[in-house]
Amino acid sequence: MIKIAGTTLDVYPLCLGGNVFGWSADESKSHAVLDAFSSLGGNFIDTADVYSEWAEGNIGGESETIIGNWMKSRGNRHQFVIATKVSQLSTRPGLRPENIIAACNDSLRRLQTDHIDLYYSHHDDKEVPIAETLGAYQTLISEGKISYIGASKYSGVRLQEALDIAERENLPKYICLQDQYNLVERNIFESEQEPVLKANAISAIPFFGLARGFLTGKYRPGIKVDSIRATAVANYQNEKGYAIVDALTRISQAHNSSISAVALAWIRANKQVSTPIASARTVEQLHEIMPIVALTSNEVAALSAL
């Protein structure tokens, strides 16, 4: 287990993404993945109120509902660190205080719990003063409904502004940043966000750690992949992307592990990362992302150089 910087939260070094629950994984398959995650020592789950509103026939909240039903049926809420988010659901948009309060209560009901361990601002709502947003979180913390807050998809400049306002006005501080970071998407995080995290001693909990599945190794030259995410990885299917996959393959063989596990290990090698997020729609996929691989400095450097 590791401790998320600035918190008392002890978590497995992989956060299970809940974005597939209620989308590409129905409730039965989702529960099977969650059972396997728990049996392998996992205890950190990430979801959002908007998951998975985009799927036909959905209204949002499906992922939270599936996770809540699972925890209720297993009686294991106390064993898990649950993160969810507010602001992207079409019926609960933005970061105005009244919306945050209402959305939090909705999430608590769907999750069938009395508290959320980590509550994210799912995007930077520039129409709402930061102090008002943080004030709403202060209310929820005082009521015991949330423990910590995080920022998702904030620029480095705006994250620093939020941290400065929290310090100046004695309001809750974001304890982490969630944004995209992986071997093929590095620039914004490393150039703009990472310096802010380091300066403020807070960490990243990145999503898309496997680049929407590209870094699992299933995408190869000339191979057609049947996946709902296949079109999303088109920009990675080039000489550079395939060179990275080839290197991951060689290193995974040396560690007798999966390509996915090595891709996630590269993210963990960054000292500003607490733990990456990765999702699995099947138990087989889960087994590929769960191993914790310790890369050598030479292996990290070789991958970074690509």
* Residue 242 is a catalytic residue: no
Distance of CA 199 to the CA centre of its chain: 22
Measure the CA–CA gap between 186 and 166, rounded to whole angstroms.
28
DSSP output for 39-88: HTT--EEE--TTTTTTSTT--S-HHHHHHHHHHHHHT-GGG-EEEEEEB-
Marked catalytic residue, from 51, 120, 148, 154: 51
DSSP output for 174-211: EEEEE-B-BTTB-HHIIIIIHHHHHHHT-EE--B-TTG
Measure the CA–CA gap between 128 and 132, rounded to whole angstroms.
7
Catalytic residue annotation:
51
